[in-house]
Structure 1
Amino acid sequence: MVTAAANLRSAPRLRVPSRTITEPVTVCIPARNECRRLPALIEDLTGQRGVEDLWVLVFDDASTDDTAAIAEAAVAGDPRFTVVRSSDEPPPGWVGKPAACHRAREHAEALHPDRGGLLVFLDADVRLQPGALAAACSALRDTGAGLVCPWPFQESVSIAEIAVQPLLAWSWAASLPVRLANRSLRPSMAVACGQFMVFDSAAYHRVGGHGAVVNSLTEDLDIARLLRRRGVSTHVVAAGGVATCRMYEDARALRSGYDRWLWTAFGSRWGAVTALGMAGSAYLLPPAALAVGRGRVRRWGAVGYLAAVTSRLCARALERGASPTATDVAGAMGHPFSVTATAALTVSSHLAHHRGRTSWKGRALS
């Protein structure tokens, strides 16, 4: 609770700058089967302000729908946009997302070999306010970092999303002093979000870019750790005021998304067992003591439960960039259910991986 409250007060937030970004800004969008969500992002990018030299490459990653055609229609001939169609599947051992990012950057370099400047990767489900890109690029240069990850507000609509999605930001906001983590080069203190990543182009190339992590299911975190091991700082910045993302639209999509990578989260099965046991002790025993205990046990349970709820609300307010809503409060009150749901997702992910059934967007991952 103390860490989350401290971060709410002091963690950096993305601010729209008053100055114009004059450096070249290249945006790469890896898109596979994103015909429904991609047009909204393209519209957001056409409305960006404060970036003088913007070029966007949309990379259609062997989509089985009309992603490329829809993207070209949304671009409507804007010379700042290029749509590249690819029918190539990732080579053996390569994971789809980092492979698509790597190939998108290769195409960008082939088309503009001397462009340099800043390199941005955006997922198709991200939504941007008009000053978001300028704010992110300004944050990179102001901090002197090689990578800035603006953390979009994770929109949650369905019950499954409300239960699980806020835990993504809570996992670091409640456990890691963000300002200290941003100043550190410790790989273990890196926080990253692959939905929105802004690189110094030279630093990105120096470590091999996504080509160095093409076999990773958590390429965002792995590339941030790689940068830190090479002496390049990485920063996470709360961006809820200017960027949002809705990753999943129902419980089935959410489960599939977490099945894809959650088995990697704790290093091993025993690591997962240990982490889930600790989470159960910290976040399930107190509400149980509050519900059925007496006297001192019940008071202890109340303190533990309210501390968890408070940390969840602080993290959500930091992520949102505004006061928590009634939905946020309801989600925080149901924190024990969220922990239980995440434990179930972790077990599901391990089972799917063990059985060789892990897949994402029609591609087998294990």
Structure 2
Amino acid sequence: MRCFVLVLLVAVAALTAHTLVNAARWLRRPAAGPVEVTEPVAVLLPLRDEATRVAPCLRALLAQRGVPDLRIVVLDDGSADGTADVVRAVAGDDPRLTLLTGAALPPGWLGKPHACWQLATRTDPAPAVLAFVDADVVLTPYAVAAAVTELRAAGATLLSAYPRIVVRTAADRLVQPLLQWLWLTFLPLRAMERSSRPSLAAAGGQFLVVDRAGYLRAGGHAAVADKVLEDIELAREVKRSGGRIALADGSRLAACRMYETWPQLRDGYTKSLWASFGHPAAATLVVALLLLLFTAPPLIALGALAAGTPAVAGLAALAWLLGVAGRVVSARATGGRAWPDALAHPVSVGFLGWLTLRSYHLRKRRRLSWRGRPVS
């Protein structure tokens, strides 16, 4: 048992070291201060039943600075809650904002890719850069200009600037920080940017900036029409077409409260986790490893204490603390809350395992849906 726990300890230590290297050396951090771009930019905002939370997002978009040639294009994708009326009330007669009505969803398309594709192809005149923003994202005044500047500085076709995730409930604090922790811990950022391999790609659709010509060359959202994780799949298509992608910490540029309630959070992750892992066997292996490395150590420590083997208990406790350290590094690097949330990291990973199991279970029974539409 001691050798087994020592192997766990070494593995967790290596992963935490990788998190630290990514966060301290390779993670891009666009400047939040005054910056200006001269090329035309269109901010694209797809909406479906967002009447209760779109107003802060819209006000932040209308307050953008540093982009003299800025257009904001909003698409109401079949909302039934008066979303379009809220958009009109907030925008008033601002000539920079255009409100479109979404077309019916064609066969073979999921809702968000279809909405994004309409926005990208119905924006006239054509801008040089497209910035996709979700309704739950609130940007700082120079966010769009800063993201476009970083896109050009990176020489990339697509830049994903991850917002600061706003957490308020216990469920938020357990689950939401895993987003940043997972890619900082397991994704080699510099290799991802340099490699042309589509499998080595990551992106978050909350705040995504793309060169329009490169976006169209990759096929745009039409190339990922039926993908639940359309953001990651779009990044892969960009690589397949010869483009480059880049990730950035956008916590100084944007904030995002992804889900308001526990059922929304649970169902939001459930709809997409199966697509993250692919084949159930791959999901089983990955989740088992995560549980072994990050959930088992405190349990082993307690069991070893009860069995009278303090040396084993100490090694297991150290493995737990190293996992906690990785979570702290991730939180501090991306504007998240580190303490005391990181201490519950083993519980967080356990929740991730349960949500993954639920995702595959509901998909098998064809019961996955989002915003009133099936997603698988």
On whether the aligned pair clears a TM of 0.5, the verdict is yes
State the match for 1:68 in structure 2: 84
State the match for 1:93 in structure 2: 108
Post-superposition shift, 1:178? 1.9
**Aligned partners of 1:177 and 1:207: how far apart in 2?**
23
Post-superposition shift, 1:18? 4.8
State the match for 2:5 in structure 1: none
**Aligned partners of 1:165 and 1:19: how far apart in 2?**
30
- Of 46, 59, 64, which aligns to 1:43? 59
Q: Does 1:243 align with 2:259?
A: no
Aligned partner of residue 152 in structure 1, secondary structure: strand
State the match for 1:255 in structure 2: 266
Q: Does 1:118 align with 2:113?
A: no
RMSD value, Cα? 1.3
**Aligned partners of 2:343 and 2:95: how far apart in 1?**
49
Whether the 8 Å contact between 1:6 and 1:177 is mirrored in structure 2 is no
**Aligned partners of 1:105 and 1:72: how far apart in 2?**
21
Whether the 8 Å contact between 2:32 and 2:252 is mirrored in structure 1 is no
- The number of aligned residues is 356
Kindly provide the CA deviation profile for residues 208-252 of structure 1, in whole angstroms up to 9, marking residues without a partner as x.
100110100000000101111222110000010121111111110
- Of 346, 349, 360, which aligns to 2:370? 360
State the match for 2:149 in structure 1: 138
**Aligned partners of 2:138 and 2:289: how far apart in 1?**
36
Structure 2 unmatched ranges of 5 or more: 1-15
**Aligned partners of 1:39 and 1:285: how far apart in 2?**
44
State the match for 1:304 in structure 2: 319
Aligned partner of residue 116 in structure 1, secondary structure: coil
State the match for 2:354 in structure 1: 344
Aligned partner of residue 30 in structure 1, secondary structure: strand
Whether the 8 Å contact between 1:7 and 1:318 is mirrored in structure 2 is no
State the match for 1:318 in structure 2: 333
Whether the 8 Å contact between 2:34 and 2:142 is mirrored in structure 1 is no
**Aligned partners of 2:374 and 2:104: how far apart in 1?**
11
**Aligned partners of 2:146 and 2:192: how far apart in 1?**
21
Matches within 5 A, 1:1-366: 1-10=16-25, 11-16=27-32, 18-86=34-102, 88-108=103-123, 111-112=124-125, 115-293=126-304, 294-320=309-335, 325=337, 328-366=338-376
Aligned partner of residue 205 in structure 1, secondary structure: helix
Whether the 8 Å contact between 1:16 and 1:134 is mirrored in structure 2 is no
**Aligned partners of 1:22 and 1:40: how far apart in 2?**
26
**Aligned partners of 2:44 and 2:233: how far apart in 1?**
19
State the match for 2:7 in structure 1: none
Post-superposition shift, 1:185? 2.2
Whether the 8 Å contact between 1:287 and 1:301 is mirrored in structure 2 is yes
Whether the 8 Å contact between 1:213 and 1:219 is mirrored in structure 2 is yes
Q: Aligned in 2, Cα 1:117/1:157: closer, same or farther, shift over 3 Å? A: same
**Aligned partners of 2:298 and 2:116: how far apart in 1?**
44
Whether the 8 Å contact between 1:17 and 1:138 is mirrored in structure 2 is no
Post-superposition shift, 1:97? 0.7
Task: Name the % identity.
Answer: 37
Kindly provide the CA deviation profile for residues 65-106 of structure 1, in whole angstroms up to 9, marking residues without a partner as x.
1011110111111000001123x4311221111111011222
Post-superposition shift, 1:271? 1.2
**Aligned partners of 2:224 and 2:325: how far apart in 1?**
36
Whether the 8 Å contact between 1:68 and 1:84 is mirrored in structure 2 is no
State the match for 2:12 in structure 1: none
Post-superposition shift, 1:295? 2.2
Whether the 8 Å contact between 2:35 and 2:142 is mirrored in structure 1 is no
Whether the 8 Å contact between 1:116 and 1:202 is mirrored in structure 2 is no
**Aligned partners of 1:69 and 1:128: how far apart in 2?**
22
Kindly provide the CA deviation profile for residues 252-281 of structure 1, in whole angstroms up to 9, marking residues without a partner as x.
001111121111121111111111111111
Post-superposition shift, 1:350? 0.8
